[in-house]
Amino acid sequence: MDIRAANAEDIGSIARIHVICWQSAYRDILPSTTLNALRVEQRAALWRGWIAGPGVHTLVAESGGRVVGFTRLCPARTIESPPGGAAEVTHLYVDPEAQARGAGKALLGRALSLAVAAGYGTLVLWVLEENAPARRFYGRLGLTPDGGRHTDPAYLGSDAVEVRYRISLDGVQGAKTVRG
């Protein structure tokens, strides 16, 4: 499993994985009209703007020469700033055909390493409250819910609740922090 910085050539793969993961993982959580309306071309257009920016790191996991997952790390958008500030994983998705092979753990480990290297004190991410498999995954890797909750109907197409998970980066040695 290779983890590397994403580039413009990866946008199509990222968009494809983003769409199929939503359609698979969120089938019983988000409205079918929202999921059925997703198009790779639309997600690719969004990713052209999301892939880079100040303090943004978009990473891909490659296996066998193909992109099988991705993550995006940036300065936290929705949390009061603790000492050292907070980084946020805004996306972490692995192709359903490649799940349970270490790509998600490797991507999160690299994101943690980048957050530590940038001097952040905390890493946060939001996950759909009803997405039990993802919540178990993050819990196994040392992230815990911190009580933060919100909805984003404009993005999710519903009032589904997202809960915030966090991990303190104080004394963390990057990827070694990820348990499991």
Q: What CATH code is carried by the domain that includes residue 84?
A: 3.40.630.30
DSSP H stretches of helix in 26-118: 32-36, 40-50, 103-117
Which H/E stretch holds residue 77? none
What total of structural domains would you count in the chain?
Answer: 1
Residue 162 has pLDDT above 60, yes or no: yes
Mean pLDDT value of segment 87-101? 93
Look up the domain containing 156 and give its range: 2-177
Angle, alpha carbons 62-26-144 (nearest 5°): 75
Residue 21 CA to residue 133 CA, distance in Å, equals 13
Q: Bridge-partner residues for 75, per DSSP? A: 87
Rounded Cα distance between 146 and 143, Å, is: 9
Global pTM reads 0.90
| pLDDT band with cut points at 50, 70 and 90 for residue 155 | confident
Q: How far apart (Å, rounded) are the C-alpha atoms in residues 61 and 110?
A: 10
Contacts of 49 (CB under 8 A, 6+ apart): none
